[in-house]
Amino acid sequence: MKFNTKLIHAGVDPDPSTGAIMTPIFQTSTYVQEGPGHHKGYEYARTQNPTRTALQECLAALENGTDAVCFGSGLAAMDAIIKMLKSGDGVLASNDMYGGSFRLLERVFKQFGISNKLIPMQDPALVESSIEPHTRMIWVETPTNPLLNIVDIRSICEIAHKRGLLVCVDNTFASPYLQNPLDLGADLVLHSATKYLGGHSDVVHGAVVTKNPELAQQLYFIQNATGAVPGPMDCFLVLRGIKTLHVRVQRACENAREIAAFLKSHPRVSRVLYPGFQEHPGHEIAKKQMRDFGGMVSFDLIGGSEEEARQVLSKTRLFACAESLGGVESLIGHPASMTHASLPKAEREKSGLTDSLMRLSVGIEDVSDLIEDLRQALAN
């Protein structure tokens, strides 16, 4: 089954009781049993829910995995993954990772004895030399948030597996439409399904996909034991969003390509971060492991200050100043004070995340309107 067909049909069958073509929202907390232990596969909604089951089967198919395990948010999904480690273990991660991921590693798990080491992961040789005796997992984002660096997934997996380490790839920015890390050797793939998978800015959701049966069982256990599960309505909304993932992401990619070119030629813009540019240091790797270059673009102003960036943010009309990404509407954000405010200023600047950097999540509006919106905001 081709990918675009999977989006519509994977994990989803007409409801056997009614023939409903859309998976019903099974809004129930428990299930009647014929007797103790004699049930129809469902006992309690924290453990299983038919709407969640359909979504998990769909997500597993999209990432070419065998199991997907859903959670109440992307960070809840990450929390479950890190809980597979133990005190004394270490995580090697990107130094320009999402601020919430950094916060979880640094402010939550560090106090339980799980350490983290942050490095630029664009150079596989640096990754290899940075592995320490207690390292147990390499955490990859690609493209990274918000600097859009590209990490060579296959190379990192080869390095990790020689040492017996796990690799988890946060695939939120790319989505399964553009990139499938399991096919490149990753052990786990994480999604904030809030973003491109849901696609309509109306749900918070997370998921982990794997094709390793042992890891899947650990994740199912943690999902049930900790209870950070999504409700059936949330699962329904993600299932609905997935059906148009291909058309949404493709349009976002097309729009982002034109917007990146416009910004690159603008006299007030000093740099544009977009892996579709041939001069982008990760361009060739992106061409190999992605099907297109995504709908995210970041840029800086010439001699820009945080105050000037804030002026641009306040003047856009179609680009809404908001957290998150991956919806049908275009968003503009200021990572230093929004998504990455939890990173210390020194850490942000060391990775290249300046106080004037702005991040665009390009939506599916008419691209000429989006360009005109940026033009008037930059002119003012």
Given 52, 67, 96, 98, the catalytic residue: 98
Q: Indicate if 163 belongs to the active site.
A: no
Given 67, 170, 187, 292, the catalytic residue: 170
Q: Indicate if 195 belongs to the active site.
A: yes
Q: 291 is in which domain, residue-wise?
A: 245-379
pLDDT at position 323, please? 92
235 and 111 within one domain: yes
252 and 234 within one domain: no
CA geometry: angle 75, 78, 81, nearest 5 deg: 155
Q: How many domains does the chain have?
A: 2
Give helix 306-315 / helix 367-379 axis angle, nearest 10°: 130
pLDDT at position 337, please? 85
CATH code (residue 335): 3.90.1150.10
pLDDT at position 303, please? 84
220 and 174 within one domain: yes
228 and 255 within one domain: no
pLDDT in tens, the chain (380 residues): 899 999 999 999 898 889 999 999 999 999 999 888 778 789 999 999 999 999 999 999 999 999 999 999 999 999 999 999 999 999 999 999 999 999 999 999 999 999 999 999 999 999 999 999 999 999 999 999 999 999 999 999 999 999 999 999 999 999 999 999 999 999 999 999 999 999 999 999 999 999 999 999 999 999 999 999 999 999 999 999 999 999 999 999 999 999 999 999 999 999 999 999 999 999 999 999 999 999 999 999 998 788 999 999 999 999 999 999 999 999 999 998 887 777 777 777 777 788 889 999 999 999 999 999 999 999 97
150 and 51 within one domain: yes
Helix (H) or strand (E) holding 197: none
pLDDT at position 115, please? 98
CA geometry: angle 117, 119, 124, nearest 5 deg: 120
Rg of the chain over Cα atoms, rounded to whole angstroms, equals 21
210 and 68 within one domain: yes
| Residue where a domain terminates, one of 242, 276, 307 | 242
pTM of the model: 0.95
Given 15, 31, 42, 46, the catalytic residue: 46
148 and 75 within one domain: yes
Return the half-sphere exposure (C-beta side, CA atoms, 13 A cut-off) of residue 377. 25
pLDDT at position 164, please? 98
Of the candidates 256, 321, 251, 296, the residue with the CA atom closest to the CA atom of residue 147: 296
Given 52, 136, 195, 251, the catalytic residue: 195
Q: Indicate if 98 belongs to the active site.
A: yes
293 and 213 within one domain: no
| Residue where a domain terminates, one of 215, 242, 269 | 242
306 and 185 within one domain: no
| Residue where a domain terminates, one of 190, 211, 242 | 242
pLDDT at position 345, please? 76
Token digits of residue 309: 């960036």
pLDDT at position 339, please? 74
263 and 165 within one domain: no
235 and 251 within one domain: no
Of the candidates 111, 46, 59, 54, the residue with the CA atom closest to the CA atom of residue 82: 111
198 and 106 within one domain: yes
- Classified as helix, coil or strand, 20 is coil
CATH code (residue 111): 3.40.640.10
